[in-house]
Amino acid sequence: MTAGVSTLLLLGALDALGVGVPPRSGAAVASTLTPAAQAKAAYDRMTSAQRVGQLFMVGGPVTGLGSATESAIVRYHVGNLVLTGRTTSGAPPVRALTSHADVLANASATASVPLLIATDQEGGYVQVLQGTGFSRMPTALTQGTWADSALYASAASWGRQVRRSGVDVDLAPVMDTVAKSFASSNQPIGRYEREYGYTPSVVADKGTTFLRAMGASGLAMTAKHFPGLGRVTGNTDTSAGVTDTVTTRTSGDIAPFRAAVNSGARILMVSSAYYRLIDAARPAVFSPTVIGGMIRGDLHFTGIVVSDDLGNAYQVHNWTPAARAVDFIGAGGDVVLTVNPAVVPAMVGAVSARAASDSAFRAKVQTAVLRVLTVKAEYGLLEPRLPITGYLGPLTTTALQRWLGIARTGTFDRATILALQTRIAGPVVGVWGPRSMAAMQTYLGMSLDGATTWNSRTVAQLQRYLNTQL
């Protein structure tokens, strides 16, 4: 038994007994290790298969993950999830889904390292999370016409909504620049008004304002699609041979991505288009020149490089799923994103096999895994977690108070009740009763059971949810 596990067992026992636990900065007890040290500790307790799994992000419908996605996490140790499709059912079902996904990342699946749970919440035509609890976001092109102060205020609110749904990563903002005269011909970006403006300076300004505001909620933000899709006509999702014949390694269109990195983006998505004047032989997603030379070298980026979709995208259909994963990691990438879970076995198997037989590739895998784990640590995902006891003791109450942003007393007092009732849109009366319980269960995406006060079922779900938040 590791020290971390024994500590959590002790804390869970203290919580169940009602013994006070001092307030901590983490959900259970804060680590004093640096993110790099936390990452190394997590890496050391993982099996080889679990390490490789950290290099994948699998798609799952936001309306219900499905068996293939769950199998990718449980059986193939995939360490990251992207919610796909659209929901208009509001935040509570998303909270239930992300809490469930979080539980899948257990000791046997991921060595209990939580998933990065991502989605596409740009605005306009690309807004996965909709309905009650999520504001309807305008297109980036519209956002780009707002004053920075207005954009920041709105994006900060949108970020809190997304983060409180249990999502960790927003695959936004789009930092591609599309010339106004070319926008109608640009299928992936301009057609859907996903650009913040028509010049690199406007894109850099408005895109980084969105990034900083959304990130203030604790979301990890993703600048995409490096080195830019603003100069192509075809959409890599539905077309092959999509090629940029204009962009160079020093083009002005690179500036918004540099601004995003300097503004705190810890994830950068690389496109699958060809860039004839940078690396004519390979799509960017498979290019050491793009990933190693431009992203790591020119931009000095130390975060996670994630691929654009390598599961269904027609641009890469001439590569087998196995080759796509191996070529991306071999080029210096970190996380293979596939919206299609069916290709996960082939991709994971190929990366594992190459790592076992090729020492240079194995070193790239190790570097990438540690990079992913370090970013997870930066966002608090490697801190000890709340044990799921179903008991509302001091430890759980302290975590609840931390989430609410109030004094951490470990006591479910009137101040905590008022803050919680306000957060869950319940009756703000300072007394916890049946209506508050119904509001709590609704907020968590649970079926109502008529409880008049806290029961183990609701507390356990609250503990699962808080583990997605802290």
What's the pLDDT at 32?
85
**Range in 29-33, 234-238, 292-296, 418-422 the model is least confident about:** 29-33
Average pLDDT over residues 169-188: 98
> What is the number of alpha carbons within 13 Å of residue 365 lying toward its C-beta?
26
pLDDT digits (tens, 9 = 90+) for 384-415: 999 999 999 999 999 999 999 999 999 999 99
Domain final residue, candidates 332, 354, 378: 378
Q: Are 256 and 302 in a shared domain? A: yes
What pLDDT, on the 0 to 100 scale, is given for residue 64? 97
Question: 23 and 115: one domain?
Answer: no
> Does residue 417 belong to any structural domain of this protein?
yes
Q: Using omega within 30 degrees of 0 as the cis cutoff, is the peptide bond preceding 227 cis?
A: yes
Do 163 and 21 share a structural domain? no
> pLDDT tens digits, residue range 427-453?
999 999 999 999 999 999 999 999 999
pLDDT of residue 30: 57
Q: Are residues 18 and 64 in the same domain?
A: no
Say whether pLDDT at 19 is over 50.
no
Looking at the chain, the whole-number percentage of residues with pLDDT higher than 90 is 93
Whether the full predicted model's pTM is greater than 0.75, yes or no, is: yes
Look up the domain containing 70 and give its range: 35-378
Judge contact between 140 and 194, C-beta under 8 A. yes
62 and 118 assigned to the same domain: yes
Question: Do 25 and 39 share a domain, yes or no?
Answer: no
Residues 249 and 102 in one domain: yes
Mean model confidence pLDDT for the chain: 94
Contacts for 88 with CB less than 8 Å, ≥ 6 apart: 130, 131
Question: pLDDT at position 11, please?
Answer: 47
Burial class of residue 449, CB neighbours in 10 A (0-12, 13-18, 19+): exposed
Q: Identify whether 383 is part of a domain.
A: no
Q: What is the mean pLDDT of residues 78-86?
A: 98
Where does a domain end: 336, 359, 378?
378
Distances in Å between the Cα of 7 and the Cα atoms of 2, 28, 41, 42, 106 are 9, 9, 16, 16, 17
**Domain shared by 25 and 75, yes or no:** no
223 and 261 together in one domain: yes
Distance between CA atoms of residues 222 and 22, nearest Å: 35
Is pLDDT at 6 greater than 50 in this prediction? Answer: no
Of the three residues 318, 348, 378, the one that is the final residue of a domain is: 378
Whether 4 has a pLDDT exceeding 70, the answer reads no
Mean pLDDT on 331-341: 98
pLDDT tens-place string over residues 154-175: 999 999 999 999 999 999 999 9
pLDDT in the model for residue 15: 57
